[in-house]
Amino acid sequence: MKKGLKQTKIIATLGPASDSPEVLKSMIDAGVDLIRINASHCPNAESIQTIINLVRAVSEEVEVPLGIFLDLQGPKVRVGTFADGAIKLEVGDTFRLSADKSTPGDQNVVSVSYPELISDLEVGHHLFIDDGNIRLEVTTKAPNEVVCNVIRGGKVSNNKGINLPMTKTSIPTLTEKDLRDLKVAVDNQLEYVAHSFVSTADDVKLLKKHIETMGGVDIGVIAKIERKAAVDNIISIIKNVDVVMVARGDLGVEIGIENVPEAQKLIISEASLLIKPVIVATQMLESMVEKKLATRAEVSDVANAIYDRCDAVMLSGETATGIDPANAVAMMRTICVATDQSLTARKKNKFSQVKRVFEEKTMATSFCKAADAIADENDADVILAFTSSGNTPLISSKLSPSIPIIAPTDSIHVLKKMQMYRGVIPIMMPQPFSEIKSWARMIDVAIRYAKMQGLMEVGDKVVITAGFPIGQPGGTNSIRMVIVS
């Protein structure tokens, strides 16, 4: 088995700097595993479709099965526009927010993107504008506007975002644009869809219901944790989603930037117990939007997310609008490989050996834990986890093995979904499971194919998990150990 392979997965956002075949190919060469399409910057369904077509065409050309997820815009609350484009607020100023969108903004008043917001606000509530740079407190409430006192001043320009950590809003979590964009994701059978501004598990359930109504099959839902309410309801949210994203931008405004590290560790820990992958996102290598080299603090930030056992790290502006998207991916890969190797060494030396207990106890979790122990005690080189659904490799991944997990499947959709799972190398079986009549034959086919791909070599010790009947999801019930000949 090759040594030094990257285990943590890298997600890159496509944008004006990277939405060409040449740049995308260079990003794939640099180590990207999944592509994020940010619907906030896609004005219509056609623009989303164009990016999907590009990713799939390049993915097929270079024979790398990239996963894709669409990040729905969600109901981001924003200020309206100003007659002069921007204003400057001073501490102690009085400033009004209006439900009347026809009102041109000035030094005294501006409209909001969702008029319903005015009725949701109460005296004493705090509002943050432009990622927390501006802070207001509601002092008076009227039917169509609220009067605020400026607590933290600064420049406010057109369409800046508003965060409402104290306010329970009546604004739907899925907008008409979100539903139009979601239809594109369903029609193209994307691997994942991300739900922005989740507050409760009901938000996630509603999105899943829409996916089902539209005819979507096996499309994973990613819950973006960027609201205080989501942190408060984190357990029920994790239980109802497929993947969790620590979206640290808006989350930092909502709960205070000093509280983000604690929330990040909590979310990763709880998701691991519930066997759900976790993405850590926002400002990971922010300086590389404009520079060729990351800062030491950014490198430490990425590494600490990996030490916390996240599954994937995400690049946003670094690859969407940065000066060198492929270089940003390469830097991220370098950090991932170094940290992954450190984790591997620590586990092998028993420095960080901790008994991990899943909240869910099933036959699959028991067999995966047994396979991990067998691999450790016998110095195995690789775990081979056959799967029809992706569940067995995901469980194995959450045990943080010190060796790679090769996951043969006969489903291209499952193959691409597994690109999200830490330490998992998905491979496509050269023939369907249904055509393979014995476990011995299945092992032989998979090992031969893995050797052809350079993923195994003669003499490797392989711990194998599979289920009988072959090809049926949820039936992991067998372990075998072989030496590659």
Among 85, 78, 67, 87, CA closest to 11: 67
Distance between CA atoms of residues 429 and 452, nearest Å: 12
Whether 352 is in a domain gets the answer: no
- Would you say 281 and 312 are in contact if contact means Cβ atoms under 8 Å apart? no
Q: Same domain, yes or no, for 97 and 18? A: no
Q: Same domain, yes or no, for 159 and 183? A: no
**Could you count the other beta carbons within 10 Å of the beta carbon of residue 465?**
27
CATH number at residue 93: 2.40.33.10
Distance between CA atoms of residues 263 and 15, nearest Å: 29
Q: Same domain, yes or no, for 188 and 247? A: yes
Q: Same domain, yes or no, for 207 and 261? A: yes
Measured in degrees and rounded to the nearest 5, phi and psi for residue 16 equal: -55, -30
User: Residue 103: which domain range?
Assistant: 86-163
Q: Same domain, yes or no, for 277 and 324? A: yes
Strands 9-13 and 312-315: parallel
Q: Give the chain's domain count.
A: 3
Distance between CA atoms of residues 47 and 37, nearest Å: 10
What are the residue numbers of the active site? 36, 78, 224, 282
Among 95, 99, 148, CA closest to 125: 148
Q: Same domain, yes or no, for 109 and 185? A: no
Strand partners, 161: 78
Whether 344 is in a domain gets the answer: no
Q: Same domain, yes or no, for 122 and 60? A: no
Distance between CA atoms of residues 70 and 191, nearest Å: 9
Whether 60 is in a domain gets the answer: yes
In the listed set 339, 373, 393, which residue is the last one of a domain according to the structure?
339
Whether 429 is in a domain gets the answer: yes
Distance between CA atoms of residues 285 and 23, nearest Å: 18
DSSP state letters, 145-177: EEEEEEEE-EEEETT-BEE-TT----S-SS-HH
Strand partners, 391: none
In the listed set 117, 141, 163, which residue is the last one of a domain according to the structure?
163
Whether 139 is in a domain gets the answer: yes
What pLDDT tens digit does each residue of the chain (485 aa) get? 455 579 999 999 999 999 999 999 999 999 999 999 999 889 999 999 999 999 999 999 999 999 999 999 998 889 999 999 999 999 999 999 999 988 789 999 999 989 989 999 999 999 999 888 899 999 999 989 999 999 999 999 998 989 988 888 888 889 999 999 999 999 999 999 999 999 999 999 999 999 999 999 899 999 999 999 999 999 999 999 999 999 998 999 899 999 999 999 999 999 999 999 999 999 999 999 999 999 999 999 999 999 999 999 999 999 999 999 999 999 999 999 999 999 888 877 764 444 556 887 888 888 899 999 999 889 999 999 999 999 999 999 999 888 999 999 999 999 999 999 999 999 999 889 888 878 888 999 999 999 998 999 999 999 999 876 666 665 667 899 999 98
DSSP helix/strand/coil, 208: helix
Q: Same domain, yes or no, for 18 and 132? A: no
Whether 346 is in a domain gets the answer: no
Q: Same domain, yes or no, for 290 and 327? A: yes
Q: Same domain, yes or no, for 217 and 310? A: yes
Q: Same domain, yes or no, for 307 and 417? A: no
- Would you say 134 and 154 are in contact if contact means Cβ atoms under 8 Å apart? yes
CATH number at residue 398: 3.40.1380.20
DSSP state letters, 205-223: HHHHHHHHHTT--S-EEEE
Distance between CA atoms of residues 268 and 291, nearest Å: 30
Q: Same domain, yes or no, for 271 and 305? A: yes
Residue type for 60, please? E
Among 211, 206, 203, CA closest to 187: 211
CATH number at residue 181: 3.20.20.60
Whether 254 is in a domain gets the answer: yes
Whether 368 is in a domain gets the answer: yes
In the listed set 96, 130, 163, which residue is the last one of a domain according to the structure?
163
